[in-house]
Chain A
Amino acid sequence: MKTQWYLAPALLIPAALSAPAYAVTYYSVAQAQQALFPQANAFVADALRLTPAQQAQIGKDAGTPQLTSEQPVWRAMSNGRQIGWFVEDEVIGKHELITYAVALDMNGAVQGVEILTYRESRGSEIRNSRWLAQFRGKHFGDPVTLGQDIANISGATYSCRHVAEGVKRILALYEAALK
């Protein structure tokens, strides 16, 4: 009798052939600024420092805590006039660390969201400060090493829930500190 295909494996892929987690860079900050505000000709870094009261308010409004008192924010300028805000943010999930940028217009409406970097790892590694440290501080310079991209990976990628929550928090930050 013929054995059904789902009962007998056709091949065995050895553990040694499986590759570890990867990182992808889509944009540097400067590239994302250009892409999200093509009409801008200058981006002025804003040294945004949140007061504890503002931090608490953002957490309350967004439903997720604003963990840092400093948030990288730029004013998008067109011929000396501000046309919007560029906010860089980072969210950490169970297996992934995502840096992304939100473009807001002068009324605080979202103009666009772009992923800058996506890094994936095992759960144990992701909250390890040394693992995180190798990526942090690189936001303002060149992209981190380009690893394998997501292009050819099939299989339930993590949900974008954390990015969605992050965008909500940036909107609360706008209300509390940029408006």
Chain B
Amino acid sequence: MTVVRARPHLGTLVEIGARGPGAAEAVDAAFTAVARIHRLMSVHEADSELSRVNRSAAALPVAVGDDSWVVLKAAQALAEESGGLFDISVGARLATLGLLPDHGAPPAPTLGDWRDLQLLPGRRVAFARPLYLDLGGIAKGYAVDIALQSLRDAGMTQAWVNAGGDLARFGTEQVTLQVRHPADPARLVPLLSWRIGAAATSAGYYAPQRNGVPQSPLIDPRTGRPQILDRSITVLAPTTLLADALTKIVALDPARATPLLSAHGARAFILEGRPDGDVAVFDSASACLPEEVSHV
């Protein structure tokens, strides 16, 4: 029996599907896991664990649970590897731009960045300077991973979780991964065939608009300014958390992202809409070709 359900979570629609004995209960439990991650890591909720960290960690270290710790550790590692291109402290800029709520967070703009985030023994988080952390670029991917793991643990033979385009699946069936047309998002483009794995896409086409101007939530930490995307970036990676975070790094600097992609066993696609409706696909796997081959 296959069960497919959708519920509003994480600021988007989350679709969860599963096949196997007890699929309905397994899907329910997976949604519960997504809701739990949302409650922990949403900056939209003043009493989330993350909001608590944002309010207090500049004054004294704040202990966090396993989930937040895993995500913060991963975010810090990616910040280091990308030289700060991935930086979860961009929340202050987003709040200044009106893209994130400002409940009890330190007054923006703050001067701190990812280097001021300290992960201390005992799963405690401290800020050397006031910070406003936003896990918007990574928590959704983590929630997808946790939900898919719960479906695996429940003994499903096939399952998938899709949170607004961050998706992961396992199973026996080979299916086509579709990506939205970068210039016409209501159309879908077949990108590749897959059976198991994780993918995430970053694109500007559904950015919230203010006065007709797209408000990109992707902040370039080098300039503090939002980056408007006219191309879409899809990353396949071993986990959705990684895929989610790596799309942001590729969007900001594909050259810098290239060694990170190989180090994490990930592959990026940049999709560019052409005036005739065709889609040009740039594929980081094509970088694996030995240099000599391109000369032949």
Contacts and interface: CB of A to CB of B under 8 A. Distances in A.
A111 to B, nearest CB: 13
A12 B12 contact: no
Of the listed residues A26, A160, A167, the one surrounded by the most CB atoms of chain B closer than 10 A to its CB is A160
A30 to B, nearest CB: 15
Interface string B177-205: 11111001111111100000001111101
Contacts, number: 186
A26 B188 contact: no
Given A155-B232, A159-B12, A19 B178 contact: yes
B258 A151 contact: no
A156 B165 contact: yes
Contacts of B258: 4-5
Contacts of B17: 149, 151
Interface string B4-34: 1111110111010100000000000000000
Contacts of B175: 151-152
Interface string B30-69: 0000000000000000000000000000000000000000
Interface stretch (B97-105, B121-129, B276-284): B276-284
A109 interface: no
Interface of B: 4-9, 11-13, 15, 17, 160, 162, 164-167, 169, 175-181, 184-191, 199-203, 205-206, 208, 232, 234, 254-255, 258, 270, 272, 274, 276-287, 291, 294
Given A121-B186, A152-B169, A160-B11, 10 more contacts: A6-B255, A10-B285, A14-B278, A27-B5, A118-B13, A149-B4, A153-B167, A155-B180, A158-B12, A160-B12
